[in-house]
Amino acid sequence: MSVVACNNLTKVYGRTKALNQLSFTIHENKITGLIGRNGAGKTTLLKIMAGFLRETSGDIKVFSEKPFNNLKVSGNLIYTDDYMNFPTSLTLMDLLKTASSFYPNWDDELAVRLFSYFSFQSTQRYTDLSKGMKSTFNMIIGLSARCPLTIFDEPTTGMDAAVRKDFYRALLKDYIDFPRTIILSSHHLNEMEDLLEDILLIKEGELCLHSSVEDMKEYAIGLSGKSNLVHQWTKDRDIIHYKNIDPDYVYIVVKNDYTESTLHQIEHDGVELNPVSANDLCIYLTSSTKGGIDDVFSRG
């Protein structure tokens, strides 16, 4: 069953297309990573899913309904980000107790255990927390709500490395206990790659790639060696990434659609074959140039 289905989804702000004809489907009970660089359109897309914004054109269905101002949709999802607003008159513990009345699947025991583990105090108020602690509290709300569609938009902002690690582990363990559709938005794939089943990669508001993590790891291959040999085997192929190691040695990443026999021949010719991680592939595909920052210093 599809939880989110988009068809040519477009969102325009003035003369800027934040989203441009996005089409994809997210199925239930999967953890999907929405990956893209800053300004790629991730937050706009998530806010349209959550019903906070209306699309300009195209179609989006969440739980088979249009999400904008839809009570059924809003009653079955939670959207957490850096800008969550809570009543300033309530303490953190008051907020947890109040949240339990909003979400039918709320797990009060989980919320209290996480609250204690991360050393929050019952009398603290949200506005007095540091940025990282606010993100951690938001995470507690997002996990404990156990909504059928749970959206985390850049959830680890401000968290230190240890807390980020704890968050990802807590998310995975709770997902195993209570499967639901979870979307994690980030421009950092390397930290959460092991959590994800699918990756939705967008670039400048357009769909770049939608694939399972396993398929993504096999999507591309890197060839490194003497320039003339590598160019011979990558000729007429769409180059994903290109790097000059020295004047006569290059590293080139292309889509991995070689046959097994061809790969053996490439290695026999003295070219080294290198796997391309999903994180590196996302970086290469969303770069504005084939060579990345090195192109800035290129004289040729």
3-state secondary structure of 245: strand
pLDDT score of 116 more than 60: yes
pLDDT in tens, 216-261: 999 999 999 999 999 999 998 999 999 988 889 999 999 999 999 9
pLDDT confidence bin for 265, thresholds 50/70/90 = very high
In our burial notation (b when 16+ CB lie closer than 10 A, e otherwise), range 279-300 reads: bbbbbbbbbeebbeeeeeeeee
Q: What is the DSSP string of 22-53?
A: EEEEEESS-EEEEE--TTSSHHHHHHHHTTSS
Residue 212: is it exposed, middle or buried by C-beta count within 10 angstroms (0-12/13-18/19+)? middle
Report the percentage of the chain scoring pLDDT > 90: 85
C-alpha distance from residue 248 to each of 72, 75, 234 (Å)? 61, 60, 16
pLDDT in tens, 145-202: 999 999 999 999 899 999 999 999 999 999 999 999 999 998 778 888 889 999 999 9
**pTM, whole model, 2 decimals?**
0.92
